[in-house]
Structures are given as structure tokens and as C-alpha cells.
Amino acid sequence: MFYNTTVSEFIITGFPALYHYNSLLFVCLLIVYLLIITGNVTICVLVKTDLRLHSPMYIFISALSFLEIFYTAVTIPKMLVNLLIGNKTISVRNCLLQTYFFHSLGSCENCLLTAMAYDRYLAICLPLYYSSIMTSTMTMRLVGSCFTLGFLFPLTEILLISRLSFCNSKMEHIFCDIPPLISLACGDTSINILANFVTNCFSIAVNFSLVMSSYFRIIMAVIKIKTSAGRMKAFSTCVSHLTVVLIFFTCILFMYIRLSKSYSLYFDRAVSILYSVVTPILNPVIYSFRNQEIRNSLRAHVLKSLFFKHQNCCREDIKSLPQGFPARG
């Protein structure tokens, strides 16, 4: 890092008006975080272990769940610590690292949601060519490309921010992010604002446009289906994806595509809660557990674990019988 500043650490203010409710907020956020981790880990395990889920759609879903685990780990643990202790500080170095990984993983998710929209477009609009185009090799290449591009996109922004001098340590936000960091900088930040705008236009607006284009074609194709049952089946495969996409992209489009140094502090913090906490918990609920195949796989795994547990208990009961005592059945 090349940062050169008299400020050695930042104070993250969070929501000062809710200071007296910190204990309640801590419990609520902890419960949400545990649900996020449990839900997304469950999806990853199901897709990994169930051969019936080794298809492109479920591979993309498991990759999204994998991302959400680390995406939330970048910010929520620190938010929980800040709710417990009075000293809500973070060093400049750690703040820049948090910002980089938060944006990298967010960019990976942008690209992955676009790839998932493309997958649904092929499955619904070009079903005869789907299996020949979306092979396992192509699926893994798309996932790998999403991760590579995601970690490359924020590099320019972070390098430019690391060269800024900061003359204010009070960050009016709930975690380290590019807009609040720019607002704390001394001197001219026009290059940073322009770089932020251009990068986000490319990584967010372009991906969002591609997703909307895919779904426009999907809707046109679904409308042409003659039977209502066929239309409902086609819509059910992508409506959950579209719900998550609209929530996620609407929030980040508002937050990051603007040519201004100033921003609404309280409103931005509320929006940040939506895409950093609410969306990750919606993904496993809306996107996966509403899916019949994933529910069936989860049910099968639960029944299998209960069966083996029952067998082990029976073996232990038999072993505990006295020698010579006849065991029933």
C-alpha cells in the first residue's frame, strides 16, 4: 500500500442514533449471520455431494453460495465487534483491505449473476443447443472467469485511494467502502471519483444490462409458449434469480454510479444493509430452498443422517447388553 496520511486509523460511526440498541442489534445481526453461513454452506455441501445436482444451474448456485460466505465474512464480523465495544476503530491498511475484498467479491457476484442469466437464456430460448453449449468445461470456465474479473475490477480504484491523504478519521458508515473513504480525503479527488464511476459503469451497469437483455428475451420466449403449465414452469426457473438480481443491482447502482463526492449519509448506510446483509440471506432462501430439486436433496440427506444415527444407536444398545443375554430381533 502507498497510503501517505497523518491519519493512522478510522472511526466507524455506524448508526449513532441507535447506540442504546447495540445489544439488540448485535443479537439480530449475529442470528442473521449464522443463518447466512448455515444456508450457504448447506447449499455448497448438497451440490457437492448429490450427483443429481451436478448440472450447470446448480454449479452456479453453489458458486454464488460460496461467494456469499466470504462476501459477508469481510464486513459482518467487524460490524458485530463494533456493536459490542466502544472503540470502533480500524487501521487505514485494514480498511483498504476490507474495501478491496468487499468490492472484489461483489464484482465476482455481479459477473456470476450475469453468467446465470445467460445460462437461463440458453436453457429456455435455445433448449436444443443447451447441452452442447453449456458443458461442464464451459461452466467451470465461466465461473473461473467471473472470479478472475471480479478480483481485477477494483484494483485501479484501491490503488488510487491508497495514494490519497486523509485529514478526517470519522467515517460516517457501517464498514469501509470507497465513497466514505473518498469523502474523508484531503485535496482533489476528482480522479478517484471518475475512476470509481468508469469502473462501476463497466462492472455493474454492463452486467446489469446483459442480465436485463437476457431476461427480456426469456420473457419473449415464454410468452410464445402455448400452454399455461409450460409458461409457469419456464417462469419458475428464473423468477427467483430475477428477484435477487433486481434487489442486488438496484442497491449497488444507486450506491456506486455517481459523479459526486457528497452523499446522503444515513440513506446510504440503510442501502448498504440491504446489499451487504439482507441480499446474502435472501439468496439461499429465495434462490435455492424454493427449488424443488434442492429441497428433495436436503430431505434425502436429513433422512439418511437420521437413518445412520438410528443404526448407530441400535448397535450401541446391542453392545451394552450383558454377555449371554439374548438380543431381540
Closest by CA to 174, choosing from 246, 93, 243, 77, is 77
**317, HSE (Cβ side, Cα atoms, 13 Å):** 10
Residues 6+ apart with CB under 8 A from 275: 106, 247, 248, 251, 252, 255
Q: How much is the pLDDT for 72? A: 94
Neighbouring-strand partners of residue 91 = 9
Quick one: fold of 9-290?
Rhopdopsin 7-helix transmembrane proteins (1.20.1070)
Please give the helix or strand (H or E) that residue 195 lies within, else none.
helix 190-200
pLDDT at 169: 86
How many residues appear in the chain?
329
Locate the domains of the chain by residue range: 9-290
Chunked into runs of 10 residues, the chain (329 residues) has average pLDDT values of 68 83 90 92 89 88 92 94 84 93 93 90 89 92 95 92 88 89 87 88 87 88 77 69 79 74 66 84 73 77 66 57 50
Query: What type of residue is 324?
Result: G
pTM for the full predicted model: 0.84
For residue 74, report the phi and psi dihedrals to the nearest 5 degrees: -70, -35
Cβ pair 318, 327 in contact under 8 A: yes
In 3D, which of 225, 221, 241 has the Cα closest to residue 287? 241
pLDDT tens digits for range 252-310: 887 787 666 555 667 778 788 888 888 888 877 776 666 777 777 777 877 776 656 65
